[in-house]
A and B are shown apart, each in its own frame.
Chain A
Amino acid sequence: DADVTQTPRNRITKTGKRIMLECSQTKGHDRMYWYRQDPGLGLRLIYYSFDVKDINKGEISDGYSVSRQAQAKFSLSLESAIPNQTALYFCATSQGGTSGDTQYFGPGTRLTVL
């Protein structure tokens, strides 16, 4: 079984709809992240959480919100989806520590906003 899972894997929605993307992990990591990936722009950080009580904005948090329901679960919401939020969304986890902080990514959610 995959260590980091995302649901749904694909979603098509309409402008103005509320959307929730979910991420679960069995790696036991405290740190979780949400990124979006657009062609030519690479991965951009939306929100990150270092533990259940810690939520931080990334570089592109406007239009998004998150919830860390448990150590293993981190969900991303688009309160009112707009077309320029069409992208590939990745959840990631990491252990933390002083010897680098390798991130482990979920399989991604492809979101299309019409």
Chain B
Amino acid sequence: GQNIDQPTEMTATEGAIVQINCTYQTSGFNGLFWYQQHAGEAPTFLSYNVLDGLEEKGRFSSFLSRSKGYSYLLLKELQMKDSASYLCAGTSGTGGFKTIFGAGTRLFVKA
């Protein structure tokens, strides 16, 4: 079966660190995406992990454990503009052609 689970909402404080978790069950798993989506706007690409481990990209890092079916997105030095939904998406098949999106985690950053 195909399933992506992530928390519905999280709240964090400006300047802090927040970790958004995602667990997945995807047959023929290829890799895992994180997208950011501000309210009423299009999702935009944040990261893609295909190998186990942590990939860092500025204030954002993404981690993948293929054996555990687990990923997280780590946001450091939170800013108000980071208030958005974060979508976890698993891909499968050749060239990652099948993508299953989670429902998204709404992050609220408070002052």
Contacts and interface: CB of A to CB of B under 8 A. Distances in A.
Contact of A100 (B40, B43, B96, B102): B96
Contact of A42 (B31, B42, B95, B104): B104
A90 B42 contact: yes
Could you say which of A42, A98, A99 has the most chain B C-beta atoms within 10 Å of its C-beta?
Answer: A42
Contacts of B42: 4, 90, 105-108
Interface residues of A, number: 25
* Interface size class of chain B, counting residues whose CB lies under 8 Å from the partner chain: 20 to 34
B101 A107 contact: no
Interface string A56-88: 000000000000000000000000000000001
Interface of A: 4, 31, 35, 40-45, 50, 88, 90, 96-108
